Amino acid sequence: MSSEEKTGTKRLAVVTGGNRGIGFEISRQLALNGITVILTSRDEKRGTDAVDLLHREHNLSNILLHQLDICDPVSVASLARFIQTRFGKLDILVNNAGASGLLVDAEGLRALKIDPLTWTSGKAVDIIKEVILHPYDEAVRCLDTNYYGCKRVTEALLPFLKHSTSGARIVNVSSLRSELKRMPNEELRKKLSDIDKLDENRLEELISTFLDDFKNGRLEAAGWPSMLPAYSVSKMVLNAYTRILAKRYPDMCINCVGPGFVNTELNWNTGVLTPEEGARGPVQLALLPLGGPTGCYFDETSLAEAW
C-alpha cells in the first residue's frame, strides 16, 4: 500500500462495467487524471485483460481490478469489503454498467444502415422491428441492471463516499432515451418529474406497473415509450433516482449523463462517437470541482435544461 493510499490523500474511483466500451475509457481517462481507479468487471478474465492492456499499452499503474456483477448482492458486498479494508473511503462512483433489454440480429441491424439521426430521434421504431426482439426476460434483466444494479452498488458504497475528503461524486451513465419528452403518457411523465413526492418506493411501483403492462401486451395502450421500451424506462427511472440521491446528499455532486451515440457492443457497433468521445461527459462529472452542479442531467458535456 502506498503512503497516499494509507493517508487517503489520493482520490479513488470505482467504475462499473469497466472491461469494455465507455467504461473502459472512463477508467483510462480518470487514471490519466491521477485518480486511483478500481476497474470492475463481472467477468474476471475480461477484467484482467482490460487492466493488463491499461498497464501495458497505456502505462497506467494506478488501475486495479475487482470483480463486480452489479446484479449479484454477494459480489457487491465483496467489493464493499475490499474498499473498506484497503481504503476506508471512496471519492468517485461511476455507475456505467448497462444492458439493452433486447435480442438483436446484429448483422441484420447493421445491414439496415439506419442513419444516426433516425436512430437517436426514435423514428427507427418501425424499421427495426424485423431485427430486434423484446423478450420479457430481457426487459427484467435490463431493469435489474440499469436501475436496481445501480442502486445496489450505490447503497453499498455510500458509507465510503461519505468519508471522502475531496467531495464525493456519483455519475450515473444514462441515455438520450431517458428524456421524459419520449414518454407518451403525461401522467407518467409528471410522476417521474415530481421530485418532491418521488422516492425509491414510488419508482419501484412504477417499474412493477411497466413490467406488468409489458407482460400483458399493454405497453402502447398504457403510453410507455415504443422505441426500446425497457431500456428507455430504465434510464428514465435512473435519472429520477439520481435526483432523489442529489436531494438526499446535498454535499455530494450526483448527476446523470447521456454519453452520446457511441460505437460499442451495446448498440451492435452502430454508434458514431468513439468510446473516448463518449467517456468525456462522465469523466467531466466525475471530476467536478467543489460546489459543482448536482441533481442534473448532461447531454454529453452540456447541461441539459429540460429532461
Ligand X SMILES: NC(=O)c1ccc[n+]([C@@H]2O[C@H](COP(=O)([O-])OP(=O)(O)OC[C@H]3O[C@@H](n4cnc5c(N)ncnc54)[C@H](OP(=O)(O)O)[C@@H]3O)[C@@H](O)[C@H]2O)c1
Contact residues: ligand X, CB under 6 A: 16-17, 19-23, 42-43, 46, 68-71, 96-99, 145, 149, 173, 175, 258-259, 261-262, 264-267, 271
Q: Minimal distance in Å, beta carbon 233 to ligand X?
A: 13
307, three cell numbers: 429532461
Residue among 19 and 154 whose Cβ is closer to ligand X: 19
SS in 3 state form for 40-87? EECCHHHHHHHHHHHHHCCCCCCEEEEECCCCCHHHHHHHHHHHHHHC
Residue among 267 and 284 whose Cβ is closer to ligand X: 267
Active site residue 231: yes
Closest CA to 237 of 72, 101, 62: 101
Separation in Å, CA 263 to CA 174, 275, 276: 16, 7, 10
Q: Minimal distance in Å, beta carbon 221 to ligand X?
A: 27
Q: State the catalytic residue, choosing from 231, 241, 249, 297.
A: 231
Closest CA to 162 of 91, 214, 95, 212: 91
Cα angle at 25 between 277 and 128, to 5 degrees?
A: 65
Are 63 and 51 in contact, with CB atoms under 8 Å apart?
Answer: yes
Active site residues: 231
